[in-house]
Amino acid sequence: MSSGPLLQVDNLQMHFPVTAGMVFRRQVGAVRAVDGVDFHIEKGETFGLVGESGCGKTTIGRCILKLEEPTGGSIRFDGDEVAHLPSTEVKAYRRRVQAVFQDPYSSLNPRMTVEEIVGEPFLVHKACARDEIPGRVRDLLSLCGLPGRVQDRYPHEMSGGQRQRVGIARALALRPDFLVCDEAVSALDVSIQAQIIRLLEDLREELGLTYLFIAHDLSVVRHICHRVAVMYLGKIVEIGESESLFADPKHPYTQALLEAVPVPDPAVEKDRQFEPIKGEVPSPMNPPGGCAFHPRCPKAMPSCSDLTPAMETVGPDRRAACPHTGPTQAAA
């Protein structure tokens, strides 16, 4: 095992071709879902990826999970390049990298019992003898806070929270080092969501897991993540330590995003004056020139439509892609 970060992503690109024509199909453009993204995740850390729909956060997760072949850049896991892993090695890689998805309704096979679902990874990877599986499954279920009696149930007989626990148990079956949690708590009710967040946090400490936590709910991300990257139209616009990034966002998009989240307290909300940012996220097929955020940015200057801003260090352990982070920079 190398001493570097567990996951290192450099200049990752995922361009989906857009084709036209029924008979003579030709490429007429590309959706730049992920367009040059760099970040790293240390062992034992929870790294958050936030942004609005279509910003490319899920695509990054899918590239890391080898569900998508990136069109450029590199992904190094524990020092080894995995972006273009030969298919013979993908299986070994997947023993170490697993996923928890958003929708516990559609990510579990409705015709399999809980025991079959959670035990399937052992069969696929021939990780243990067949007769050991029920015992292993029982241990995994209890680790995820489920009673042993659910073992013979089908997904439709369980609540949303229980199903998500089954999804987590399945992901942990092969004792992975790294979990991609793609909107893992978004579909759950508030009281159940808190239970699953606590479970994920406890499991990380207990098993020494590392998480990539992809979510659009900023309050949840702030709570669970150590470091966070904010994405807009396929690019990271700001990255840094979670606590300080949420306390003092530098990039105008991060600022707008944070401002839009209401605090569940009328006393706080009453004194808050805010103006929601205008417009919507443009199409990733035809992103605006220069800084992609400039058409919506309250601080935009004429130069913003020409120059694509590069990521620059704007504070301790903080980088942002905006040349106008301005006076707050001095304060940091």
Partner 1 sequence: MSELLSVEDLHVEFKTPEGLVRAVDGISYSVSPGEVVAVVGESGSGKSVSARAVLGLVPRPPGNIPKGRILFDGQDLLTLDDDSLRKVRGRRIAMIFQEPMTSLNPVITIGRQMTEAMVANLGYGKRQAREKAIELLRMVGISEPARRMKQYPHLLSGGMRQRVMIAMALSCEPELIIADEPTTALDVTIQAQILTLMEDLCQRLGVALVIITHNLGVVARYAHRVNVMYAGRIVEKGEAGDIYQQPRHPYTAGLLESVPRMDRSREDPILPIPGNPPDLIQMPEGCAFRPRCKYATDQCAIAAPEMQVLHRGHESACWNTDALSRGVAA
Q: Of the listed pieces 21-29, 83-91, 147-155, 260-268, which binds partner 1 according to CB under 8 A?
A: 260-268
Cβ distance 233 to 279 under 8 Å? no
Smallest gap from residue 296 Cβ to partner 1 (A): 8
Which of 42, 278, 285, 307: binder of partner 1 (CB under 8 A)? Answer: 278
| Three-class DSSP category at 83 | coil
Question: Rule CB under 8 A: is residue 132 a binding residue for partner 1?
Answer: no
Smallest gap from residue 89 Cβ to partner 1 (A): 37
Residue 216 has a CB neighbour count (10 Å cut-off) of 16
Segment 4 to 63, residues that bind partner 1, using CB under 8 A? 52-53
Q: Which two tokens stand for residue 26?
A: 């030709």
Phi then psi dihedrals of residue 8, to 5 deg: -130, 120
Smallest gap from residue 168 Cβ to partner 1 (A): 15
CB-wise, 20 or 263, nearer to partner 1?
A: 263
CB-wise, 276 or 327, nearer to partner 1?
A: 276
Q: How do strand 97-100 and strand 178-182 relate by DSSP bridges?
A: parallel
Segment 187 to 216, residues that bind partner 1, using CB under 8 A? 189-195, 197-198, 216
Smallest gap from residue 159 Cβ to partner 1 (A): 5
Which of 1, 23, 267, 331: binder of partner 1 (CB under 8 A)? Answer: 267
| CB-based burial, 129-157: b 16+ in 10 Å, e otherwise | eeeebeebbbebbebbbbeeebbeebbee
Q: Which ranges in the chain belong to alpha helices (H)?
A: 57-64, 87-96, 114-124, 133-143, 160-172, 190-207, 218-224, 242-247, 252-260, 266-270, 328-331
For partner 1, how many residues bind (rule: CB under 8 A)?
45
Pick from 196, 199, 249: nearest CA to 50: 249
Cβ distance 213 to 225 under 8 Å? yes
Q: Which two tokens stand for residue 162?
A: 């229980």
Q: Which two tokens stand for residue 145?
A: 């806070």
Which of 47, 213, 246, 293: binder of partner 1 (CB under 8 A)? Answer: 246
CB-wise, 172 or 256, nearer to partner 1?
A: 256
Which of 162, 164, 255, 325: binder of partner 1 (CB under 8 A)? Answer: 162
**Residue labelled with tokens 């808190």:** 194
Segment 279 to 308, residues that bind partner 1, using CB under 8 A? 280-281
Question: Rule CB under 8 A: is residue 223 a binding residue for partner 1?
Answer: yes
Phi then psi dihedrals of residue 320, to 5 deg: -145, 150
Question: Rule CB under 8 A: is residue 255 a binding residue for partner 1?
Answer: no
Rounded Cα distance between 260 and 247, Å, is 14
Half-sphere exposure of 223 (CA within 13 A, CB side): 14
CB-wise, 281 or 311, nearer to partner 1?
A: 281
Which residues contact partner 1 (rule: CB under 8 A)? 52-53, 159-162, 189-195, 197-198, 216, 218-220, 222-224, 242-243, 246, 256-269, 274, 276-278, 280-281
